[in-house]
C-alpha cells in the first residue's frame, strides 16, 4: 500500500523508514484514510514488538508516513532464504508477535493482515509486527471496509474474514498467527496454488495437511496448537493471544508459585478427581506422570478433574492449565485423507447417547476394578451389520452400538448381488445389435 524508503532525520540524525503513497493513487481517498489510520493506530501504542509510527504529513499533496526503521529482514525473506525454521526458532518469533498483538487487542485494535511479510526480525532476534494499514479500531471503526467485503491476504486470513472483514476480531488475528507459524515450521505457503474462493472453501472445511505431515521434526504439542488456532470455527481457537502463546509454549504465562523443597523448585502437581462412586481423591505426581494418567484415562472424565501446584489449592479445570490443555481440548478435525489414513475406507460413527469404543472413551480405565477411577468397559455390540461411513469428513472414531441401522456402505445394498445392472444390459444390447448388423451386411455381399 505504498513504497518504503530508508531516510535520515535532518534534525536529529535518526534513521527512519518513510512510506509514501504512489503518485497514481494520491487521490484515492480511501487509501489516504488508511494511511492516516495506520499512523493513528501505530502511534497509540509503544511496544517492543510493534513498529512505532513517528509522523504523518503531506509533501506536495503526497501523503507520507514516518516509521521506526527496523534493521533486518522479514520472516518471509528468512523462510525463503533458509527454508523451514526449527521449532524453537519459529516459536520464539511468533510468541513475540503474539505479545505485541495482545497489547494491540487490549487497546481495541485488530490487525487483520498478520503474515510473514509483515513480521520484521532484527539481527539480535527481536521480532516486530509492521503494516497497520488494515488495522480495525473496534470502538471507532471508520467506514473504510464495506460490509460483506473481505480484506487481507487470502492464504493467512480467517475464513470469516473473507465474508466480512468489518466484523473481524482478535480471533481472526490468532488464525493468521497460526497460519504464519504453519508456514514458518513447514516452509510451505498454506493453501498455496489456491484462488481466494478455493482457499476460503478449504478453510471452512479445515482442509489442509497437518503441520507435522509437512514438518515431521515438530512436536505433537505444536502440531496441535497450530491446528487449534487454524480451526474454521472461531469458538474452537484460543480466546486471546495469551492463550495462544500458552498453547505453543506448553506452559502458563502467569507467574505461579511452584512447590519448594530444600530451597529448590519441584516438578510437583496435585490433582483432585472423583471416582465412580463419587468419592473425591487428591493425588500428587510429576507433570509427566499426570499427563500419562490423563492420556490413558485412568482418572475418569477429564471434565471432573482439577489441577493445582499446591495441595491446599487453588485448583483449576484441566483445560485451563496450559500444561495439560492439549490432552482435553480438541482442534477442529481435518478431512479424512485416504492416502495417509489406513482407516479411510472404514469410519465409524457414534449416535447421541451412545458410548465411544474403549480405545477412545473418555475416562475408560482398562485396569483392575480395584484401581482408583476404574470405569468398566462399554458393553460389546450385539450382532448386526457393521456400520461404515463413507464420507469426506472424519467421524471422531466413534461407533454405533446395538444398532442395525446401516448408514452407508461401499456396496449398494438396494440392488441384488446376483442381478446385472442397467449398464450390463445396455452393453449386451449393443453387442447383439452389432452382430445382427454385421450378419445382414455379410448376406448382402454374398447375394
How many whole angstroms separate alpha carbon 344 and alpha carbon 337?
A: 7
Provide the angle, in degrees to the nearest 10, between the axes of the packed helices 220-229 and 241-249: 160
- 224 neighbors 87 (Cβ within 8 angstroms): no
54-72 in b/e form (b: 16+ CB < 10 A) is bebeeeeeebbbbbbbbeb
Question: For the residues of 304-341, what is the DSSP string, one character each?
Answer: G-EEESSTT---EEGGG-HHHHHHH-PPPPPPP-TTT-
Region of 158 (left: φ > 0; alpha: ψ -120 to 50; beta: rest) is: beta
How many residues in total does the chain contain? 447
Nearest CA to 205 out of 72, 353, 53, 394 is that of 394
Nearest CA to 52 out of 36, 37, 38 is that of 38
Side-chain-side CA neighbours of residue 272 (13 Å): 13
Neighbouring-strand partners of residue 120: 74, 128
Report the catalytic residues.
113
Kindly state the cell numbers that stand for 158.
480467517
In what helix (H) or strand (E) does residue 103 lie, and over which residues does it extend?
helix 87-106
Side-chain-side CA neighbours of residue 394 (13 Å): 15
How many angstroms separate the Cα of 92 from the Cα of each of 46, 103, 197, 266?
20, 17, 32, 26
How many whole angstroms separate alpha carbon 268 and alpha carbon 257?
A: 11
What is the torsional sign of CA 306, 309, 313, 314?
A: negative
Side-chain-side CA neighbours of residue 318 (13 Å): 22
In what helix (H) or strand (E) does residue 106 lie, and over which residues does it extend?
helix 87-106
Q: Which residue has the cell 508477535?
A: 97
- 248 neighbors 196 (Cβ within 8 angstroms): no
Kindly state the cell numbers that stand for 239.
480466546
Neighbouring-strand partners of residue 316: 307
- Residue 406 CB: number of other CB atoms within 10 A? 13
Amino acid at each position: 500500500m505504498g513504497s518504503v524508503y530508508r531516510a535520515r532525520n535532518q534534525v536529529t540524525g535518526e534513521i527512519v523508514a518513510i512510506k509514501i503513497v504512489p503518485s497514481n493513487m494520491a487521490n484515492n481517498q480511501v487509501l489516504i484514510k488508511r494511511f492516516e489510520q495506520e499512523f493513528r493506530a501505530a502511534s497509540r501504542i509503544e511496544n517492543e514488538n510493534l513498529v512505532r509510527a513517528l509522523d504523518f504529513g503531506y509533501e506536495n499533496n503526497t501523503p507520507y508516513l514516518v516509521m521506526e526503521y527496523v534493521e533486518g529482514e522479514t520472516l518471509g525473506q528468512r523462510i525463503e532464504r533458509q527454508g523451514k525454521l526449527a521449532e524453537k526458532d519459529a516459536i520464539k518469533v511468533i510468541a513475540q508477535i503474539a505479545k505485541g498483538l495482545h497489547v494491540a487487542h487490549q487497546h481495541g485494535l485488530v490487525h487483520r493482515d498478520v503474515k510473514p511479510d509483515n513480521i520484521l526480525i532484527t539481527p539480535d532476534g527481536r521480532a516486530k509486527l509492521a503494516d497497520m494499514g488494515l488495522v480495525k479500531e473496534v470502538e471507532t471503526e471508520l467506514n473504510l471496509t464495506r460490509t460483506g467485503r473481505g480484506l487481507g491476504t487470502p492464504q493467512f486470513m480467517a475464513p470469516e474474514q473473507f465474508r466480512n472483514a468489518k466484523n473481524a476480531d482478535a480471533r481472526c488475528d490468532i488464525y493468521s498467527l497460526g497460519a504464519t507459524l504453519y508456514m514458518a515450521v513447514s516452509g510451505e505457503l498454506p493453501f498455496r496454488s489456491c484462488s481466494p474462493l478455493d482457499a476460503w472453501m478449504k478453510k471452512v472445511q479445515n482442509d489442509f495437511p497437518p503441520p507435522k505431515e509437512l514438518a515431521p521434526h515438530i512436536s505433537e504439542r505444536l502440531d496441535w496448537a497450530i491446528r487449534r488456532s487454524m480451526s474454521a470455527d472461531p469458538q474452537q481457537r484460543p480466546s486471546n493471544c495469551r492463550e495462544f502463546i500458552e498453547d505453543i509454549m506448553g506452559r502458563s504465562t502467569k507467574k505461579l508459585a511452584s512447590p519448594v523443597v530444600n530451597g529448590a523448585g519441584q516438578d510437583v502437581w496435585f490433582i483432585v478427581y472423583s471416582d465412580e462412586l463419587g468419592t473425591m481423591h487428591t493425588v500428587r505426581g510429576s507433570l509427566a506422570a499426570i499427563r500419562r494418567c490423563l492420556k490413558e484415562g485412568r482418572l475418569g472424565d477429564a471434565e471432573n478433574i482439577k489441577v493445582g501446584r499446591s495441595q491446599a489449592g487453588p485448583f483449576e479445570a484441566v483445560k485451563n492449565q496450559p500444561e495439560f490443555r492439549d490432552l482435553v481440548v480438541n482442534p477442529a478435525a481435518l478431512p479424512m485423507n485416504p492416502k495417509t489414513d489406513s482407516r479411510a475406507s472404514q469410519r465409524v460413527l457414534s449416535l447421541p447417547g451412545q458410548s465411544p469404543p474403549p480405545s477412545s472413551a473418555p475416562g475408560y480405565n482398562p485396569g483392575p476394578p480395584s484401581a482408583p477411577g476404574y470405569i468398566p468397559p462399554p458393553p460389546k455390540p450385539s450382532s448386526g451389520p457393521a456400520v461404515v461411513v463413507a464420507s469426506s469428513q472424519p467421524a471422531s472414531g466413534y461407533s454405533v452400538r446395538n444398532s442395525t441401522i446401516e448408514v452407508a456402505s461401499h456396496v449398494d445394498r438396494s440392488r441384488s448381488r446376483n442381478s446385472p445392472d442397467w449398464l450390463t444390459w445396455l452393453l449386451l444390447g449393443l453387442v447383439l445389435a452389432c452382430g445382427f448388423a454385421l450378419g445382414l451386411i455379410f448376406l448382402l455381399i454374398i447375394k
